[in-house]
Amino acid sequence: MSTHWKLTLAYDGTDFHGWQIQPGLPTLQGALSDAIARITGERVLPQGSGRTDAGVHALGQVASFSLLAPIPASNLMRALNRVLPAPLRVLAAEPVPPDFHARHSAMEKTYQYRIFPAASGAVCPPFLARYAHVSPWPLDLAAMRQAARAVLGEHDFTSFAATDPDLATRADSAKPPANTNIRILYESNWSQDAIADSDTPSLLRYTVRGNGFLHHMVRNLVGTFLAVGCGRFQPESIPVILAARDRSQAGPTAPASGLFLVQIKYPE
Amino acid sequence: MSTHWKLTLAYDGTDFHGWQIQPGLPTLQGALSDAIARITGERVLPQGSGRTDAGVHALGQVASFSLLAPIPASNLMRALNRVLPAPLRVLAAEPVPPDFHARHSAMEKTYQYRIFPAASGAVCPPFLARYAHVSPWPLDLAAMRQAARAVLGEHDFTSFAATDPDLATRADSAKPPANTNIRILYESNWSQDAIADSDTPSLLRYTVRGNGFLHHMVRNLVGTFLAVGCGRFQPESIPVILAARDRSQAGPTAPASGLFLVQIKYPE
């Protein structure tokens, strides 16, 4: 009798070559597989809710796999955190029904993108540099909010998908409708932290929640919103960009360091 | 006519082999020297207020050096931050009188040591792991506070100095009285952050301010306070350890990752 497991993970993605296992490179899936093998002697390939890219962080990534060894959940979590590298932590471990799959069972995913606004000459603290994108341009937050609202709801997000043919069809979505770039966004907004002190400007945060995401979709949305924020695009151009279904119409891909996979929602 | 400069620096020390320049290794002094040379063509060796060890961080390290090139202070700061690696930032640049020396002119230094208390099974977030020491033991904060108070004032800190003869006499002090291990501590206390949410315990912070510090002194004090916190030493043993002037009487050296050089005070 094997047990099927669901792990909730947090990681600092800076020093990993992304989620997906690659020979000879430090990856999150590889580190987790190694740690499980070291504890149980069983070599499994944990399935993630999606494959985060190199440099992308997670506050609540989910992975699933099966083990023959009978282990209490709290022991599995403690043992994994003892052998995993400090930038990768198990926040929760729970046995789940055998039909649970971290990616296929996912209903919704939430991402956040953090920007340090440095236009005023403010210096990004070194302790934040790994976890935010530093923008040197003055940003029009009202225009960025208007642009973010324009992608809410159901759209064909081809203009915001990675153009590499291998990557575009790659499942980075929670519930991937086969062969379509249509996704539904339930939440898409910019917020700014309350100002803690006068020397350091507060972070800008883009939060987006949807039923699925194409590869690079969040970073391409953010890159486009930043282009709106510094006046290169008008917020009114977002529906036009969506309608074009053409990656070249949207803005550049924002850097990985600002992106956090926040939460995956599954059926109760 | 050369200009004498004072820089205030913040850095994430994790990926540096300490302050002091070493051939072929990434160091803070080396990175700063390289950046200055790249901007001005002048090769100088900036003097720090002290040589932080590998892995130690800074919120307000100070460095001084002279340049022949005439540059406005704001331009020097901006240009340095453009070429320096993101983990090392210049927070301020100002011209100072030629007799200013980052180490010799220092009156007081403040350090902080951060501990993530994981005794309850709490998992240290990966984004904090570089900037705190994770303690797996239940800690008696009242006993640690009592121990911290016992080192206030003027003492011979030989019991808390690195025993390596090359290192023990090394100037890591603000105002090093020649050939003595006597230092004065004006502040030495433990605090705990207000609890932000119930899942994550709040950080313990040790703050110490004094006229100078021997090599490894803060980390050896913290290692000893942790031994008090988990009951291996009594708080009453601190005066006995001080009086012994014997490194072997005190606790172990706490890891570098929790230590921050916070501030250097100079005469007005």
Question: What is the tally of structural domains in chain B?
Answer: 2
- Partners of residue B87 in chain A, C-beta under 8 Å: 126, 129
CB nearest to B89's CB, from A11, A86, A126: A126
Q: What does each C-alpha distance from A232 to A63, A242, A250 come to in angstroms?
A: 39, 17, 11
Does residue A203 share a domain with residue A229?
yes
Does residue B152 share a domain with residue B88?
no
Question: B127 and A81 in contact by Cβ < 8 A?
Answer: no
Does residue B216 share a domain with residue B88?
no
Whole-model pTM? Answer: 0.91
Residue B124 belongs to what domain range? 108-265
* Residues A264/A102, Cβ–Cβ less than 8 Å: yes
pLDDT at residue A193, rounded to an integer:
81
Question: A89 and B121 in contact by Cβ < 8 A?
Answer: no
- Among A68, A96, A124, give the residue marking a domain's end: A96
Residue A132 counted as domain residue: yes
Residue B28 counted as domain residue: yes
**Annotated active-site residue in A53, A99, A199, A246:** A53
Does residue A134 share a domain with residue A89?
no
Residue A113 counted as domain residue: yes
| CA pair distance B226, B208, nearest whole angstrom | 15
Nearest residue on chain B to A129, alpha-carbon basis: B86
The ipTM of this complex is 0.86
- Partners of residue B90 in chain A, C-beta under 8 Å: 123
Does residue B71 share a domain with residue B122?
no
Does residue A167 share a domain with residue A66?
no
CB nearest to B81's CB, from A12, A57, A123: A123
Residue B229 counted as domain residue: yes
Residue A102 counted as domain residue: no
Q: What is the pLDDT of residues B49-85, one digit of tens each?
A: 999 999 999 999 999 999 999 999 999 999 999 999 9
- Please state, as a whole number, how many other Cβ atoms lie within 10 Å of the Cβ of residue B248: 8
Does residue B248 share a domain with residue B143?
yes
- Among A42, A73, A96, give the residue marking a domain's end: A96
Residue A101 counted as domain residue: no
What is the CATH classification number for the domain harbouring A36? 3.30.70.580
Question: A91 and B123 in contact by Cβ < 8 A?
Answer: yes
Q: What is the DSSP string of B94-146?
A: EE--TT--TTTT--EEEEEEEEEE-TTSPPPPTTTGGGSEEE-S---HHHHHH
Q: What is the pLDDT of residues B146-195, one digit of tens each?
A: 999 999 999 999 999 998 655 544 445 455 556 799 999 999 999 998 76
Does residue B207 share a domain with residue B90?
no
Question: B78 and A121 in contact by Cβ < 8 A?
Answer: yes
Question: B126 and A91 in contact by Cβ < 8 A?
Answer: no
Does residue B151 share a domain with residue B71?
no
- Among B42, B65, B95, give the residue marking a domain's end: B95
Q: What is the pLDDT of residues B21-41, one digit of tens each?
A: 999 999 999 999 999 999 999
Residue B55 counted as domain residue: yes
| CA pair distance B175, B101, nearest whole angstrom | 11
Is A53 among the catalytic positions? yes
Residue B100 counted as domain residue: no
Does residue B89 share a domain with residue B117?
no
Does residue A119 share a domain with residue A87?
no
Mean pLDDT in order along chain A per 10 residues (268 residues): 95 97 96 97 96 96 96 96 97 96 97 94 93 95 98 98 64 59 98 73 94 96 98 97 97 97 95
Does residue A120 share a domain with residue A87?
no
| CA pair distance B130, B128, nearest whole angstrom | 6
| CA pair distance B113, B132, nearest whole angstrom | 8
User: Which of A89, A78, A19, A25 is CA-nearest to residue A48?
Assistant: A19
What is the CATH classification number for the domain harbouring B187? 3.30.70.660
